[in-house]
Structure formats: C-alpha cells, structure tokens
Chains A and B, each alone.
Chain A
Amino acid sequence: MDRNQIHDKLTAIFRDVLDDDSIVLNDSTTADDVDGWDSLSHVNLLVAVEKRFAIRMSTREVKSMRNVGDFIALISQKLAQ
C-alpha cells in the first residue's frame, strides 16, 4: 500500500468515525483543523486505524504523532514490518 492509498483509507476512516463526509486531510492537518477531532474521538480514531489497517501502534508512537503526516508515516512503517 503506497502513501496515497494510506492517505485515502485514513481519510475514509476519519470521515466514518467522526461522521463527517466533508473532512479533507493533508500532511499538515492537526486536531485543531478538524471539527470533532478532540481527545475523545482521537482514541476512537486510534482503535479504528489499528483495526482496519490490522496494525498495532505502541503507546510512545501514538503519543509522538504531531499531524496527519506523522500518522501516515507511522501506518506506512507498520505495514512494511
């Protein structure tokens, strides 16, 4: 799965979990830029990403993510393992 595919799948997950089809993500997007992406829904997003990409992220990896770009990079790295 290349970066674009991961981006598209991640966007679909965000739209589904936050129940908002207008969400557009790019690498610099942070929680402040997306309505409904708060600390509560963040936990939901993590669970959904782990399930749908079938990966496990560590506590530290999760805590060190700064934006969507980091998120995609982390998923990409996990999928490659």
Chain B
Amino acid sequence: MDVRKFHLEQNNDATFNYFKLMKEVKRLGDLKAKIDRKVKLAFLADCATQHLTMLAQVIGANRGLDIEVYEAGYDTIELEAFNPSSALYAFNPDFIVILKSAEKLKHKFYAAPHADAAGHMVQHLSSIWNAIKTHSRATIVQSTFVVPLERPFGNYGRMLAGALDQFFTDVNHKLVEAARSERQVVLNDVDFLAAAVGRRNWIDEKMWALAKEPCALEYMPLLAHNLVDLIGSAIGKVVKCVVLDLDNTLWGGVIGDDGLEGIRLGDLEDGEAFVAFQHFILGLKRRGIILAVCSKNDHHNAILPFQSHPEMVLKETDIAVFVANWNNKADNIHYIQQTLNIGLDSIVFLDDNPFERDLVRKMLPEVIVPEMPEDPSQYIRVVAELNLFETASFSEADAERADMYRVEAQREQAKTGFERIEDYLLSLDMVITLERFNAFNLPRIAQLIQRSNQFNLTTRRYSESDCEQLMNDGENAFPFTLTLEDRFGNYGLISVVVLKRVDSELVIDEYLMSCRVLQRGVENFAMNGIFGLARQLGLTSVRGSYIPSKKNGMVKDFYAGFGFEKIHEESDGTTQWLLPTDAYLDQPALMRTGTLDFLSST
C-alpha cells in the first residue's frame, strides 16, 4: 500500500498514527520481503534516532522501498565523517542523513557566544560534508534547525545577530546557501515541519531530557515521511502528472447544467477557492508537472471555460491531454498514461467525487488518489500536506517538460495521417545530436539516470559525481548523451549511454532512453554510432548486458533485435550479449545528424 494513501485513511490524532506505525515495525520483515528496491541509509545524529529509523523503514516499505539502516553511535557525527575507515563508510550508504538537534546547538551557543557563530557553525557542517564527499558517493541529507521558543530579546532579537533566535535563523539561512552550491547535498527542512505543526507542539523538552528524542514522538512520523519523500524523489520515485476532474474540482457547479455564467469561479460564493486552487495547479505545471484533464462531460462543454471564462487561470494550452467523455475514469486515466508514456505510479488523480476516486483506486491501485475535502477552500491544504511533488533537483528543462509533453501528444495525433511509418518519420524532420558527457549536461544526465526505469538495460544509478568521473576518463570511458529535435519542438536530452573499453571489446555499461522517443529509430542511430566507435578504436566486438528490474521488461530482448548472440545467462535473468564489430550491419535511422562526437567534452 502506498503510504500516501495510507496517510489519508488515518484519523487526525497524531499520537494514534504514531502507535499505528510503531506496531507495523514488528511486521517489517514481511513488508520488506516483497520489495526489490533497496536503499542504504546511514544516520549521523546528535540526538536519538532509533524511533525515527524504525518509522522510516516502515514508511519506506509501505512505499516500495527496502530501507537498510546504519545508525552511528549517539553524537558521533564528526568521528564517523572524518575517519576514512569508519563503520559509516564500510556500510557504503546511498544516503547519509545528518540530523542535528536544536538543543545541542542551543547549548553550544550559550556556552560560547561568538560574533559570527552562525558562520562558524555552517563552516563546520561544510567541513563534514567535504569529508563525506571525499570518502563516499552518498547523497547527504542535511537537516535544518528548529528555531527555539525562547526569545531573550523578544521581538527585538530579530535585529541582533547575537540573539539566540536570530542566530538559529541565520544558521538555517547560511546552511541553505551552502547547500545550494553542493551537488551531493539535499536539505531536510525540519524547521518547516516544526513550524507547520507549531513549534510549541514539535519541541518536547521532556522527551529530550528522558531520551534525547529530536521532537515529540507523535510528530516523528512527519519527520520520517519527509525523509522517505526525499529519498524516494532522489531515486526517481516522483510524480510526473496530475489528472484533474473539472466540475466541482476546478470550478464550482456543473458546466453541462449550469453553463458558462452559472459555474462558480471568481467572486461568486466559494468561487475564489477554485481560482486559488487553479493557481496552485498552475504552479505545479511551472515546476514541470504535466497536467491532464479527465472529466465526465461532453467535450464542447468541458473545454468552454478554458476558452472563454474570464476567471479561468488554467488555459487549454496548459493541459497536455484533455479527455472529456462518458467512459469510466479508470479507462480514461489509462489512456492518458499511455499517451504520455509514463508510469501509473507517477500519476496523481484529483477529483471531488468519492465514487470516482474509489473506482480509480480499485481499478488502478498504483495511481495516487488523495482524499479530497468537501470544502474547496481546503483543497490546497489537503493536497499540499501530502508533499506529493518532492523533487531532488530542478532545471529549466523541468520547467519546459509539461509543454514538451503537450507537443508530444500532438505528435501522437499527427501519426494517424500516414500510410507508412517511414513517411511519418521522414516528415518529422528529426535532427539528432550525440555528445560526450559535458559539465553543462551533468545535472540533467544524473537526473535522467535516476528517473528512467523502463528503457534501461542495466539500471545503474550513477550519481552526478560518478558521471563526472566517467566524463573525465578520456582513455577508457565513452559516456554520451543523445538529444533530439523535430518539427514539433525540442525533446532535449533523451538518452544516456556509457561505453567502456575493456581489452579488445567495447562494453555497453549502461544504456537508457526516455520512452517518449521509442520507435523513431533513435536506438538504431545509437547502435550505429556504438559500432562506428568500436571500429574507430579497432576493437573486435561489442558486449552488452541486460539486468532485469521490476520495470525494464520491455528491453529484455533489446540486444537480440540487433543480432547479438546471447553468451551467458544467470539465474536472476541477467544476460550477456556479444556481436563482432565486422558482423554488424548499420540500421536505418531516418534523421539528420547534428553533431557526433564521442571524445571531446566541452
């Protein structure tokens, strides 16, 4: 069960929820047994973490993540980080969670006040990050500090760097600035969580005194959720699309009955709430979330407000796929999913109607279906509190993604006019560019590596720093990207391939592609390029492997399609493939070549 759906079924009593989760700790073994996605999490903290790590494992398991935990001894952050042979590094974690308590920071501040105490504190944390970066490829998850309740100067404290409360605010501010320039650091904004529930509820001095707990136990699940959200997004479990109902979701009333003038949107009654909700949704689109509409309506009625209602925030061009008909919503969401070529588990469905929500939950259990409140004024709060749209990075390409998918949906429709697929492909006027990894592309490359699941031959989740190393190994590594453009627009970066020279062979170490560009001949172009390089380097053959994962069944026979011979098969389904360089015949690729450069990284 997805924890975000589980979350909805819980009542509002935080203590009740805490104990409910704690009981699941006993069943953790069973929960984990069904999961194939492992993540190794190390905790460095100057507070107790046992309850937190139990909760994180349960919440992770409920969301399909098998979290293996290493807990460093209490208050041993520096000892572990600065010692290259510490148990921390022997554990080889994927993530290192640094959890710093407000109590300890407070104590430090009172014991030795200093004019630039905040700067020193953050410098110290930076030195810990640097040590970790030297010895580990792990992503560092750094907590912010919960601003304390005490204000020795009252409101005036905000004017003084030397006041305790302002000191905390300064530390958080400098921490954020320092983290922004770090590729390996993400922030766990604990101060936001505390502020959201109220710091006076979050802070539990007695639990600190008794057991060094970082917060009141009843809010520990929030902290654990936040961590799992971060981890999930960093390994590519992200929401890509929001599917929206229309009547009583985006506006009040029923457009088919009430007409354009009758729906509530804007000043009328609760119409302001719908305008605010549309702004919230538009913000998601600008952040790269694809928007789709799924409404039980006649199409001409459904589209009308988008075209002519003066208070509509969302426009027709904001919606990538617009489905208004009388079919059941599960089928329509399935259609939307196929048109966009994304996973069902990356879709959120928002609908005010409990019947529709229930139907979609039952028929498409992977789709995330939040429980919506009756009052539209509460829509934003309820959806926002689920923190569904966590991301580990953001780039300009993300901002444009929603529009790219809309263009893609148009391409799908254009396909119908051609008899032969070749004619269609030629009409696209595709231009493809092959480039070695370069500094400019690295963040986007790392992101694609984390996100791609289906067309991914070996699912090696190289981090940005791994990619940088590959980029710099000019002798034996040939990592490259493909970017594609056609008459409808620019796809951006669509494929990542890592080639390695091993003895007299060229080994395809990793090969992944965005599913948006399947069946356009891009695979052929890439393979032609790979064999071209093998010839250029005088290598005798090309070797590839397929490592099965839960989601990459579609490329199981990828190498067979190019005439590779299967030379080895393991019990877990991993296969090895080989094809001599001179036995390969170039495959048709109906596209123009922009650049083809394996060697120079700009």
Are B19 and A17 within 8 A (Cβ)? yes
The A-B contact count (CB < 8 A) is: 33
- Please tell me which one of the listed residues A40, A47, A59 contacts residue B15 in the complex, with CB atoms under 8 A apart: A47
At the interface, yes or no: A19 with Cβ under 8 Å from chain B? yes
Known contacts A19-B26, A44-B22, A47-B218; is A63 also within 8 Å of B210 by CB? yes
The answer to whether B210 touches A46 (Cβ under 8 A) is yes
Given known A-B contacts A47-B15, A47-B217, A48-B19, A40 and B51 have beta carbons under 8 A apart: yes
Within 8 A of A (CB), among B189-216: 206-207, 209-211, 213
Residues of A within 8 A of B50 (CB): 40
With A17-B19, A48-B19 already in contact, the answer to whether A43 and B213 are too (CB < 8 A) is yes
**Residues on the B chain within 8 Å of A46, using CB:** 210
Is B23 an interface residue, CB under 8 A from the partner? yes
Main secondary structure on A side of the interface with B: helix
Total count of chain A residues near the partner, CB < 8 A? 15
Which of B15, B19, B23, B217 meets A43, CB within 8 Å?
B217
Complex interface bits, A26-55 against B, C-beta within 8 A gives 1, otherwise 0: 000000000000011001101110010000
User: Known: A43-B211, A47-B218. Is A59-B206 also a contact (CB below 8 A)?
Assistant: yes
**Smallest beta-carbon distance A49→chain B, Å:** 11
For chain B, the count of residues having a C-beta within 8 Å of the partner chain is 16
Tell me whether A62 is interfacial, beta carbon within 8 Å. Answer: yes
A59 to B15, CA, bound (A): 20
Tell me the smallest distance from the CB of A58 to a CB of chain B, in Å: 8
CA distance A46 to B218 in the complex (A): 12
Contacts of A59 in B (CB 8 A): 206, 209-210
Interface string of B204-239 (1 = CB under 8 A from A): 001101110100011000000000000000000000
Structural contact, A43 and B51, CB atoms closer than 8 A: yes
User: Known contacts A19-B26, A43-B51: does B210 contact A51 (CB below 8 Å)?
Assistant: no
B10 to chain A, nearest CB (A): 16
Chain B residues near A44 (CB-CB < 8 A): 19, 22, 51, 217
Residue of chain A at shortest CB distance from B209: A59
Q: Which residues of B contact A16 (CB under 8 A)?
A: 19
A40 to B22, CA, bound (A): 11
* Shortest beta-carbon distance from A75 to chain B in Å: 16
B206 neighbours in A (Cβ, 8 Å):
58-59, 62
User: Closest Cβ of chain B: how far from A32's Cβ, in Å?
Assistant: 19
Q: Are B22 and A43 in contact (CB under 8 A)?
A: no
Residue on A with the closest CB to B15? A51
What chain A residues lie within 8 Å of B211 (beta carbons)? 39, 43
Contacts of A17 in B (CB 8 A): 19, 22
**CB-defined interface of B39-50 with A at 8 Å, one 1/0 digit per residue?**
000000000001
- Interchain nearest-CB distance for B55 vs A (Å): 12
B-chain residues with CB within 8 Å of residue A47 when the two chains form the complex: 15, 18, 217-218
Q: Which residues of B contact A39 (CB under 8 A)?
A: 211
- In whole angstroms, how far apart are the Cα atoms of A30 and B207 in the complex? 21
User: In the complex, what's the smallest C-beta–C-beta distance from B587 to chain A, in angstroms?
Assistant: 60
The proximity string for B residues 12-44 relative to A, scoring 1 for CB distances below 8 Å and 0 otherwise, is 000100110011001000000000000000000
- By Cβ-Cβ distance, the 8 closest A-B pairs, closest first, are A59-B209, A43-B211, A47-B217, A51-B15, A59-B206, A40-B50, A19-B23, A19-B26
In the complex, given contacts A17-B22, A48-B19, A63-B210, what are 18 additional A-B residue pairs having Cβ atoms less than 8 angstroms apart?
A: A39-B211, A40-B50, A40-B51, A43-B51, A43-B207, A43-B213, A43-B217, A44-B19, A44-B22, A44-B217, A47-B15, A47-B18, A47-B218, A48-B15, A51-B15, A59-B210, A62-B206, A62-B210
- Taking Cβ atoms with an 8 Å cutoff, the residues of A that contact B are 16-17, 19, 39-40, 43-44, 46-48, 51, 58-59, 62-63
Q: What are 7 A-B contacts defined by CB distance under 8 Å?
A: A43-B213, A43-B217, A47-B18, A47-B218, A48-B19, A62-B206, A63-B210
